[in-house]
Structure 1
Amino acid sequence: MQTFAQTTFYSGMLAAVFSLGIYAEAPAGDAARYFPATTIIYAEVDQPVDLIEGAQQNPQISQLLDELKTIPAIKKAMEGKDFQKFQFALKVVEAKLGQKWPEALAELTHHGISIGVDPVSNGVGLLMQAEDAEALNNITNSLVELIEGDAKSKGQEPHFEQIEYREAKVFKASDFGFATWNNWILIGNKSDVGRSMLDALIDDSNTGLSSTENFRNASNAKTGDAIAWLFIDIDAARAANPDENIYSNKADDPGGEFLLGGLYSAFHETPYLTGELQTVDSGLKLKLSVPFDRSSISEERNHYFGPEGTGSASSPIYVPGHLLTISFYRDLSQMFQRAGDLFDEKANDDLAKADVGLSTLFSGRNFADEVLSGISPQMQFVIARQTFAEDKPIPSIKLPGFALVTELKDPKVSRKEFRRNFINAIGFFNIVGAMNGQPQLEIDFESIEGGELVTTNMVPEVDQKPDTEARINYNFSPSIAFSDNLMIISTTSELAEAVASSKERLSVEPAEDTGDIRNTAMLLSVKELVRLVVDNREHLISQNMLKEGHTQEEAETEIDSLVKIVRLFKRSKAVLSTSETTLDFTLEVEINADKSPRE
């Protein structure tokens, strides 16, 4: 039997190149014509050699790799027997090839990589164009000789069955096969898809994927600075699975509609999806797009995109300890008023009951039509790491603060009702809490610039002393704040006051002058996420020991490894936006290039 390392390397040396299809660059090139026209997922690259050489020369990547090697879990794995065997096998291969593996990989993929998934044959095909036929034959022959020699030394049957098909050499294994022709190499998991692609390649076919209308339209929209390009045929996916919720144009409940209603509109009719991966500053940006006409959005989805798609999220608020901010456009009043068109009968019955109860709390005013209509569609959800005073009980599990930030259209009318109902809610929680032996909340009132702050404080229990093992309840001091036209409902008084007094906003693309309209924006601060994990390190270690059965040393290694991995990144942001012709989701991740000592 082959060792894990040998199996991983020998068979994986060919198959592992699949993963490069995600990161490689391509200008929607010629290789698509060799894939079946029924291919549903396709990704391609033009010059992977540039990526390989760039990665070797990039100091940030070198720094990232050095950091990874210091992570306890990775360091331990690198010292293990399997990795050492893998390293030995790698040196054997490099000696056989007479070059280092990055150089061999660059030669093997010199003119491009393409990968496709064909649901008709249930096949996956990978197509690469080497620098020249001589380089391809040298690499593949050397790898095959090593694999077969290893099998022979163990008294095993040859790993590959070697045959000729037309002008190509074919190597078949039990679970995959590959073929070489001129300077092309084809890898596939099914004979049907392999034969089909090999015929198209030898015949120089023009009737494959690139001839389909959806692919042609998608490739025409590709930009020139992408390091990766992806195509998914949504028409084909929808036809194959018409009952999937994402294609139904209807959510099951208000929560699903609030989060995904716009995507239901898009995927109900859009023909395809494209994706591009780009390098930006010190990180990567992934952009997924589908054709979308925002000017023809149906009335029931005005709550999500705004009239004619013009609804825009406001700039995210910054507060100290900022962990995550989500800014979005959602017209709750419109969503509830269109509930009959959006939800099923059960969901509408539940909403009707809730509307009656909530209307009673607001002095008989209809909740959906009158109360919610007084709230602007521009809302934010803010999460921030909180601090704890040393002279008060400190919970053993330290949670961040959460705040919902809304804009009131007429603060003078709305403030009193929301303040009164907040106070009523605290009273109700106190009654229920007392019945269950929970600490009580004490209410305070405070004037702030532009408004007022209504806060609560957890009353210490009898003989309660300041310590670090208090109940989880002491994470919470529910508060409501009003500042000019803002209303902030927060789990902590600290965060409510910070949001109310904040004058700083976070920068989010796309910029205003691009013509794109930002519907939803999410910004994550990795630094504060790391601090939150460190705050709860002892608790996380204990939970790891209980759930995973690890020793304390193993648990500490796992948690500390997680912290070091997260610290490799600086921040992340995601944006859902619309242009005049597309709906776009953009995810950007920034690598931490700061070489200064970390906190």
Structure 2
Amino acid sequence: MPRLGHRMRLGISRGITGLLLTLGVSTSMGGEVVHASRWVAGDAAIYLELSHTSPLLDRLLTDQYQNALAALPGSEKLTQSETYKQAVAVLEQITEKLGTTWQQGLRDLTGGGVVLAVEGKPARPILIVTPTDPAFLTRLNQALLDLAREKAKSKDQPDPVKSADYREITVYELDRKGVYAIVEGKLVIVDNPKTLKQVIDRALDGEKAGTSLADDADWKARRAQVGDPQAWGTVRIDRLRELDPKRFTFKGDPKLPATFLFGSWLEVLRKADWASAAFSWTDAGLGAELALPTPSGGYPEALKGFVPPNGRGATKPVNPPGTIASLSLWRDLSSLWEARADLFPPEAVQGLAKLDGVAGQFFGARDFGTDVLGPLGDEWRLVVARQDHASLKPVPDMKLPAFALVVDLKPGDNDFAQRLKVAFQSIVGLVNLGGAQSKSPPLELGAETVEDVTISTARYMLPKAAPNAKEPVHMRHNFSPSLAQVGNQLILSSSVSLTRSLIQTFKTPAKPEDATLMVKADGRELADLVEINKTRLVMQNMLEKGHDKTQAEREISVLTQLLRYLGLAQLSVQDSAETVKFKLSFDLAK
């Protein structure tokens, strides 16, 4: 095991120890074990729960994860600092005194779960830690208190810990840094004595102390929906707004790109009264889910173009060979155009009005809203994939991936499909006019047929002579723009090779899913692309950041390691009548 990785592990426990030293610990046990949520008031605005700490610690302490942390920029500087070394020394002293290891100590301390809640007005934080072994918590508390007092005595300082009894439970206070006690075998840390007394009353009096969060019907329903994740939390956004309206009132972003991508979800954030999230990290990977309620009474009419009808959704993302990322989105652009005055600020609406003139130039005087957006379907897909760079002529020095936009066309308007091909040719002509001013080679129009599908192509004219070996080949040679139509699917791609792959893919039509948005990203494919361009990226790193070659190579290596570790990432957003669910997962490298 590398020494640096070992120290990074110690850093995890240092954080726990520092928390205990700052906020404190105390003693008193007995009674039936109850879940910590019963000690939280029913009006809590924030509730976070870590249920299974041992599996999480097991994964945090693996060689693979720790070596990745050790490779991060700044980690070596951290572990060489005096503050870090002193914290490690304190930790080793405590664990030796307790006759355990810090790894086992963490498991014993947190094995029963950790709960963090914020309740009341003004907001009061409460941290409740349930140990696997309450006796270990008592011994750890005494060791920390002894250490704090010995340190103060050695410096001729007064006792840093004040203590008092409340209902036969010892309460400790660390000089305005927190109040704490061990209540029924659980460590309770709060900000002031009054809050701690309230928690103790709930623990000892049960239902007599008032309704707890665990008795709230909505809380129980949301908790039951997520099953048994390692971590779960819920936030009452309405109560946060009451505490601080300016900070917790979300107004959204009316700018065009944000509204187009997130319009209905911005509306959800503006009006949501609550949110809940769950997190799990297993052998299969890492996963997180966020749920928010849909607006009461449904979405405004202007937002109907963002939300698919019941039983419909985006089509499964395409996955040609070498796919780095693939996105699929349901959007009714024709409806959004009709509602543009309600969705965007006046300056954005004025800018959109210019599209009518542009559409007239490229689409035979067609009206943009009805005759250009109208024929477009509601399925939008974007794919980014690696190219076979060896087949490119000439081979560019900086090797970029290919990307393609796939648009669904409504049947019945054959003239529009033909107009799109003409528009493609017109755009290539404009690119050539701009390139002539910078003396760039022109794009040559062409066509080829694959699987009975005609592809309109454009390739940069090859130089008359082979480029000098010492001169870099421009990155423009990554691109060979192309356009093709397979059934109702229109493909606009940066590379003719990707267009060929997509034609093969679309021979088997995909069915709509129940999600509005689906995204997949393959970290391994992206890492391979970084490796291909490593020499250029190292040089760029040295020029932009002033690193030497060793430092630059280290940063690029850390990036590739991280991408490979994250593996396949998937994001989906599902709109339903009651909730909007965001799901994110990573199929981590084994």
Deviation by residue 1:59-111 (Cα, 9 ceiling, x = unmatched): x9746347648858699679857677665544322211111223322332243
Deviation by residue 1:304-358 (Cα, 9 ceiling, x = unmatched): 1124x44411111111110000011011111111112212222212111222322
Match for residue 526 of structure 2 among 529, 534, 538: 529
Secondary structure in 2 aligned to 1:99?
Answer: coil
Structure 1 stretch displaced more, 134-143 or 371-380: 134-143
Deviation by residue 1:104-150 (Cα, 9 ceiling, x = unmatched): 22332243210124594455431112346533211111123234434
* Correspondence 1:97 to 2:98: yes
Deviation by residue 1:546-565 (Cα, 9 ceiling, x = unmatched): 33332211221222122223
Instruction: State the TM-score, normalized to the length of structure 2.
Output: 0.84
Secondary structure in 2 aligned to 1:305?
Answer: coil
Q: Work out the CA distance in 2 between the residues paired with 1:47 and 1:7.
A: 20
Structure 1 stretch displaced more, 84-93 or 353-362: 84-93
Aligned to 2:49: 44
* Correspondence 1:164 to 2:164: yes
Structure 1 stretch displaced more, 431-440 or 455-464: 455-464
Asked if structure 1 preserves the Cα contact closer than 8 Å seen for 2:271 and 2:295, the reply is: no
**How far apart are residue 156 of structure 1 and its match?**
6.9
Secondary structure in 1 aligned to 2:432?
Answer: helix
Q: Which amino acid letter does the alignment assign opposite residue 42 of structure 1? A: Y
Q: 1:159–1:502: structure 2 CA closer, same or farther, 3 Å change rule? A: farther
Q: 1:430–1:268: structure 2 CA closer, same or farther, 3 Å change rule? A: same
Q: 1:127–1:245: structure 2 CA closer, same or farther, 3 Å change rule? A: closer
**How far apart are residue 170 of structure 1 and its match?**
1.3
Q: 1:191–1:326: structure 2 CA closer, same or farther, 3 Å change rule? A: farther
Q: Work out the CA distance in 1 between the residues paired with 2:75 and 2:519.
A: 34
Match for residue 19 of structure 2 among 15, 18, 39: 15
Q: 1:156–1:560: structure 2 CA closer, same or farther, 3 Å change rule? A: farther
Deviation by residue 1:173-195 (Cα, 9 ceiling, x = unmatched): 56445333341212345667556
Deviation by residue 1:382-441 (Cα, 9 ceiling, x = unmatched): 011222236733333322111110121136232210000110011011101111233321
**How far apart are residue 530 of structure 1 and its match?**
0.5
* Correspondence 1:474 to 2:477: yes
Aligned to 2:498: 495
Secondary structure in 2 aligned to 1:376?
Answer: strand
Q: Which amino acid letter does the alignment assign opposite residue 93 of structure 2? A: V
Aligned to 1:26: none
Structure 1, unaligned runs of 5 or more: 19-28, 594-599
Structure 1 stretch displaced more, 121-130 or 415-424: 121-130
Q: 1:384–1:5: structure 2 CA closer, same or farther, 3 Å change rule? A: closer
Aligned to 1:485: 488
Secondary structure in 2 aligned to 1:395?
Answer: coil
Secondary structure in 2 aligned to 1:377?
Answer: strand
Q: Work out the CA distance in 2 between the residues paired with 1:350 and 1:72.
A: 44
Q: 1:176–1:472: structure 2 CA closer, same or farther, 3 Å change rule? A: farther
Instruction: State the TM-score, normalized to the length of structure 1.
Output: 0.83
**How far apart are residue 535 of structure 1 and its match?**
1.8
Q: Work out the CA distance in 2 between the residues paired with 1:17 and 1:445.
A: 72
Q: Which amino acid letter does the alignment assign opposite residue 239 of structure 2? A: A
Secondary structure in 1 aligned to 2:567?
Answer: strand
Q: 1:396–1:171: structure 2 CA closer, same or farther, 3 Å change rule? A: farther
Match for residue 210 of structure 2 among 206, 210, 217: 206
Match for residue 561 of structure 1 among 532, 541, 558: 558
Deviation by residue 1:255-301 (Cα, 9 ceiling, x = unmatched): 21221112123234332111122356621221111233799443322
Q: Work out the CA distance in 2 between the residues paired with 1:496 and 1:210.
A: 55
Asked if structure 1 preserves the Cα contact closer than 8 Å seen for 2:315 and 2:510, the reply is: no
Deviation by residue 1:461-480 (Cα, 9 ceiling, x = unmatched): 56451758222322222221
Q: Work out the CA distance in 2 between the residues paired with 1:581 and 1:17.
A: 45
Asked if structure 1 preserves the Cα contact closer than 8 Å seen for 2:519 and 2:572, the reply is: yes
* Correspondence 1:231 to 2:228: no
Q: 1:140–1:462: structure 2 CA closer, same or farther, 3 Å change rule? A: farther
Match for residue 305 of structure 1 among 293, 304, 307: 307
**How far apart are residue 582 of structure 1 and its match?**
2.0
Q: 1:390–1:12: structure 2 CA closer, same or farther, 3 Å change rule? A: same
Q: Work out the CA distance in 2 between the residues paired with 1:573 and 1:6.
A: 32
Q: Could you say what the CA RMSD is over the residues aligned between the two structures, in angstroms?
A: 3.8
Q: 1:145–1:252: structure 2 CA closer, same or farther, 3 Å change rule? A: same
Q: 1:235–1:245: structure 2 CA closer, same or farther, 3 Å change rule? A: closer
Q: Work out the CA distance in 1 between the residues paired with 2:296 and 2:457.
A: 42
Deviation by residue 1:18-41 (Cα, 9 ceiling, x = unmatched): 9xxxxxxxxxx8433434555432
Q: 1:521–1:253: structure 2 CA closer, same or farther, 3 Å change rule? A: same
Secondary structure in 1 aligned to 2:404?
Answer: strand
Aligned to 2:140: 139
Asked if structure 2 preserves the Cα contact closer than 8 Å seen for 1:5 and 1:89, the reply is: no
Q: Which amino acid letter does the alignment assign opposite residue 116 of structure 2? A: I
Secondary structure in 1 aligned to 2:316?
Answer: coil
Secondary structure in 1 aligned to 2:306?
Answer: helix
Q: Percent identity?
A: 23
Aligned to 2:222: 218
Q: 1:64–1:369: structure 2 CA closer, same or farther, 3 Å change rule? A: same
Q: 1:215–1:225: structure 2 CA closer, same or farther, 3 Å change rule? A: closer
